[in-house]
């Protein structure tokens, strides 16, 4: 999930709240949840977190 002018933790919270990974729970492969923040003032990615 990508957020703008927010935090990677808020992006990860949205992944959990909306159940984006739920359809893949029966898959044997590892699921990575990635939260990314894009800063409009710096015009770049300024943080990410992988769970």
Residues in Cβ contact with 44 at an 8 Å cutoff, skipping those fewer than 6 apart: 38
Q: How far apart are CA 50 and CA 42, in angstroms?
A: 22
Residue 31, both tokens: 């699921």
Express each pLDDT in 16-51 by its tens digit: 999 999 999 999 999 999 999 999 999 999 999 999
**Number of CB atoms found within 10 A of residue 11's CB:** 21
Res. 15 pLDDT band, cuts 50 70 90: very high
């Amino acid at each position: 999930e990508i957020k703008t002018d927010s935090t990677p933790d808020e992006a990860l919270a949205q992944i959990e709240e909306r159940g984006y990974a739920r359809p893949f729970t029966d898959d044997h492969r590892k699921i990575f949840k990635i939260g990314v923040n894009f800063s409009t003032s710096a015009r770049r990615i300024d943080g990410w977190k992988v769970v």
